[in-house]
Amino acid sequence: MTAAAHRAFDVLVVGAGVAGTTAAIQLARGGWSVALVERQPFPRRKVCGACVAASNLPLLQALGVGDAFQASAGPELRRVALLHGDGSAEADLPAAPAGQPAWGRALGRETLDALLLAQARAAGATVFQPWAVQALLGAPGAWHCELRGQASAALLRLRARLVVDAHGSWEALPTDRPRRRHARSASDLFAFQAAFTGGALPAGAISVLALEGGYGGMVVADAGATTVACCIRRDRLHALRGAAPGLRAGDAVEAWLRRSCTGVQRALQGAVRDGPWLTAGPLDPGVHLHGEDGIFRVGNAAGEAHPILGEGMSMALQSGAMLAALLLGSGGTSPVPSGRAQAALVRAHAAAWRQAFVPRLRLAAVFAHLAMRPRGAAALLCVVRLWPGLLTQGARWGGKVRMAALPAMAQHAPSNDVGIAARRPPSEGPA
């Protein structure tokens, strides 16, 4: 493509993670022309706990990847454990209502993202990958976007009537970059994630880690791999690296996890790490929605919860589906709204998003701040030992068994499940 090339679409979706692809699939099925832009080539590993709650499984089926998810994901997650120092407490996870799969499972993002992207292509979305948004100008009804190829210096200009921002946690649209800058703080949280083979973590359980200056989780995901993810405060990370100046950040974090939590020591005894630690951050928990620019936001672009509850993927999937349901209406085939109508829809989407997800953000924030403080973590462990059902109820409050909203179009699952073949990496450049 040359700089002179122009293409027009009904909607531009920025970001091909689970939120962006969910919205793209539904909108393309509704008859809209969809441009889906992703700057990273797939398959990609990503900092993510990998847990997909049972509440999302009907939606995955409706999106056309349910069978492939069931074929690839790790064991059913039926138990939850809280680990702090030498102590632990366990409880049952709540089962989803009858008529749907009862238990969540874990699947690496390199597989889930590829499955959903393949289904977006099958639905008719035009995928631009790896391309990055360099400029976004205009207004609802008449957006102008400039893309730059990540593998070359090529430029591509698109026009779109509506824009969906699904960029994720640590990137931003050009219009948002000044807003997202913030001063460094000792309390900033950085995320780390690694996969291990040959570990001793019991299958079918989620382990939540309460750590001094951080928190984390462990789970057995696809192919029997043990996924370990954690968030650590900037000041704690600085101290760890200062105590071991020759050690990489991820290695310093792993040593800290092993010595500060007996459960981690046991789970990783004899395990071999699969590649280096992935890292990202700082996290930006909270609500990110704002409507003054007329852009619709889903996933972490809309708001981000502390990942201690493992609800990031749920919020991404469900927010993408909620937005598509709003835009397409009850019949699932509404035309693209005019620029003037989009302002009201942005406000309606923000209100629905807040009603559905702000309680999860608040619950996750309370749990995270307790877990990061020694006294809070010790008190939490003591309460959970006396009342294990608190973990079960917390999982229920956190959305593990209930979708925020089930769109009408999600009731009609397609027959063309993309299957495991979606793991193949897509070709580069515009589809």
CATH code of the domain in which 13 resides = 3.50.50.60
Evaluate whether residue 90 is within a structural domain.
yes
pTM of the model: 0.91
**Quick one: pLDDT band at residue 152, thresholds 50, 70, 90?**
confident
- List strand residue ranges (DSSP E) for 150-295, in order: 155-165, 189-197, 205-211, 214-220, 226-233, 272-273, 278-280, 286-287
Give the gyration radius of the chain's Cα atoms: 21
Evaluate whether residue 40 is within a structural domain.
yes
Burial-class residue 272 by CB neighbours within 10 Å (0-12, 13-18, 19+).
exposed
**Quick one: pLDDT band at residue 46, thresholds 50, 70, 90?**
confident
Do residues 236 and 110 lie in contact, with contact meaning Cβ atoms separated by under 8 Å? no
Which residue, chain included where needed, has tokens 């640590």?
170
Look at 373 and 48; give whichever has higher pLDDT.
Answer: 373
Compute the average pLDDT of residues 77-99: 94
Name the 3-class secondary structure at 232: strand
Evaluate whether residue 116 is within a structural domain.
yes
* Predicted local distance difference test score (pLDDT) of residue 386: 95
* Predicted local distance difference test score (pLDDT) of residue 16: 96
Strand pairing class (272-273; 126-129)? unpaired
Evaluate whether residue 395 is within a structural domain.
yes
**Quick one: pLDDT band at residue 3, thresholds 50, 70, 90?**
very low
Residue 110, phi then psi, degrees to nearest 5: -60, -30
- List strand residue ranges (DSSP E) for 39-154, in order: 51-52, 79-84, 87-92, 105-106, 126-129, 131-139, 142-149
Measure the CA angle with vertex 388, ends 386 and 393; round to 5°: 130
Contacts of 183 (CB under 8 A, 6+ apart): none
Evaluate whether residue 221 is within a structural domain.
no
* Predicted local distance difference test score (pLDDT) of residue 4: 44
Q: Does the pLDDT of residue 180 top 70, yes or no?
A: no
Closest CA to 304 of 371, 243, 360: 360
- 160-169, 248-257, 368-377: segment of lowest average pLDDT: 160-169
Closest CA to 93 of 266, 410, 309: 309
Looking at the 3D structure of the chain, how many domains does it have?
Answer: 1
Q: Does the pLDDT of residue 53 top 50, yes or no?
A: yes
Evaluate whether residue 329 is within a structural domain.
yes
Q: Does the pLDDT of residue 417 top 80, yes or no?
A: no
What b-and-e string marks burial along 197-208, b requiring 16 or more CB atoms within 10 Å of the CB? eebebeebbbbb
Residue 186, phi then psi, degrees to nearest 5: -60, -25
Between the CA of residue 235 and those of 191, 215, 304, what are the distances in Å? 14, 14, 22
Evaluate whether residue 379 is within a structural domain.
yes
- 146-155, 183-192, 356-365, 401-410: segment of lowest average pLDDT: 401-410
Burial-class residue 295 by CB neighbours within 10 Å (0-12, 13-18, 19+).
buried
User: Whole domain around residue 13: which residue ranges?
Assistant: 6-180+284-430
Compute the average pLDDT of residues 183-194: 94
Q: How far is the first Cα of the chain from the last one, in angstroms, to the nearest whole number?
A: 12
Strand pairing class (296-297; 155-165)? parallel
Specify which residues 215 forms β-bridges with: 210, 231
Q: Does the pLDDT of residue 252 top 90, yes or no?
A: yes
Tokens of 318: 């469900």
Closest CA to 39 of 191, 168, 136, 137: 168
Mean pLDDT of the chain: 89
